[in-house]
Amino acid sequence: MLVTIQVLENKKILVLKSRRGEDDLLEYLRDSSAILTYFPIIETESNFCSKAVTSAFNNLDKYKLAIFVSPNAVKFTFEYLDNMKLTLPLEVSYFAVGKVSAKLLCERVDNVIYPQTNFSSEGLLELPQLKKVSGDRILIFRGGQGSEILRDSLLLKAKSVDYCDIYQRKINKSYLAQARQKMKDVDCLVVFSAQVLSSLGNLNAICSKQDWSKLTLLVSSRRLAKIGEELGYKSIKVANTSLVESMELAFSEIFR
């Protein structure tokens, strides 16, 4: 870790993600010698008034599996349950994409299943439990976008795969404009969301005269890397996971 911190000295890092109370990556970068710019570009809000959300919870016991794709999916689900004085049915098998989501989910249910290494939809699909879902009904808790690969893959075997859009994600337009401007003057852009990356747009549309080869895009999945390539990024680094340990390793490889 010390070596990585030294490598980051005076490197300009732009991080775009949602706001969280505690964030290991931001804390790590602030403790390093990097020049950090962080924009909480994604705003989240509950979607409790949705009839589809109400229907999903009314029929939750009819599903065999429930999948939570993010910590916010868990947090907003808990908030909804508390408001309605409901509990999660014990007969449902619960899955989480990442460690943080799994840890939160374990506060309410036992035996949460999640990938041990590849914390992504692809990693989740490699679990043996999700290879045997023939005839099952599956519910995916998410924030209004994403997880299409997960759903499409599960639909090849399962009886049905539905979404419960328990919350919504919106791009803060002010932060988006600031991010586009700041991108011209940083060494590394860190993005975790396809929604954010797509909202930034094509690099040449941001500034056709800029030498974008000097900017490295750091993402946590090959799917995001592919989107980055389509948007004109020349230097792209894919971290193994979104965990801070994987990000540290990626930074050391970018700036070695």
> DSSP character for 8?
T
Enclosing domain of residue 106 = 48-165
Residues 161 and 72 placed together within one structural domain of the fold: yes
**Could you tell me the pTM of the whole model?**
0.81
Last residue of a domain, one of 165, 183, 213: 165
Residues 226 and 187 placed together within one structural domain of the fold: yes
Cβ contacts of 142 within 8 Å, gap of 6 or more: 69, 70, 73, 163, 164, 165, 166
Supply the pLDDT for residue 111: 84
Tell which residue, 58, 144, 60, 46, has the closest CA to residue 94.
60
Residues 218 and 159 placed together within one structural domain of the fold: no
Three-class secondary structure of residue 212 per DSSP: helix
Supply the pLDDT for residue 248: 93
Last residue of a domain, one of 165, 185, 209: 165
Q: How far apart are CA 154 and CA 131, in angstroms?
A: 8
CATH code of the domain containing 113:
3.40.50.10090
Tell which residue, 177, 171, 173, 186, has the closest CA to residue 37.
186
Supply the pLDDT for residue 110: 86
Q: How many domains does the chain have?
A: 2
Supply the pLDDT for residue 88: 93
CB half-sphere exposure, 34, CA atoms < 13 A: 30
